[in-house]
Amino acid sequence: MKNLSYRLSKWSIVNLVGFNITWLGLIFFGNSFIPFAATLFIFHLYFQAEKNELVLILLVATIGVLLDSTLEYNSIFVFPKTEYIPLWLITLWFCFAATIRHSLGFLAQSKILQLLVGGIAAPLSYLAGAKFSVVHLTLSTGLSYLLLACIWGPLLVVIFLMSERVGIEEKCYAE
């Protein structure tokens, strides 16, 4: 098994800041922010991505798009002005996937922490999206949160198991 220890580095901080800029930009500007988000994603692939990381990104993004599409198909999510999940959300999934081995790498050591962060933080992201009117949640806020927590807690554990199985080798960033 590969050593999955995590070290906070300037690249982890760049990854975290880049993802938060991307999240805010895609939430507030939608599809018009995609070129900027894509530029940050390409920057990540060029400067930060590790061996086999693109495989992990494709797996995580595919699972995420299928998950949100399923929630949309079952009318749990309703997106304004579109019949399917919007392109900006697909872009967001790719950008989120690029955080797994970097700014979220600290979660790799603890399945309990993965479960807690997935079950607490991820649903809050969706609730924030609803607050900013980029998605309408058809269930009450409490039921939406509970459903998303039940999905996202285990999902984040699965994502980190996939990260381990894909066999990504770590880069050592000298400070």
Kindly report, residue by residue over 90-119, the tens digit of the pLDDT.
999 999 999 998 899 899 999 999 999 999
DSSP of the chain? ---------HHHHHHHHHHHHHHHHHHHHGGGGHHHHHHHHHHHHHHTPPTTHHHHHHHHHHHHHHHHHHHHHTTSEE-TT-SS--HHHHHHHHHHHTTTTTTTGGGGG-HHHHHHHHHHHHHHHHHHHHHTTSSEESS-HHHHHHHHHHHHHHHHHHHHHHHHHHTPPPP----
pLDDT at residue number 21:
96
**pTM recorded for the entire structure:** 0.86
36-82 tens-digit pLDDT = 999 999 988 888 777 788 999 999 999 999 999 999 999 999 998 88
pLDDT at residue number 51:
78
Give the C-alpha separation, 101 to 94, whole Å: 13
- For residues 98-125, b (16+ Cβ closer than 10 Å) or e, as one string? bbbbbbbbebbeeeeebbebbbeebbee
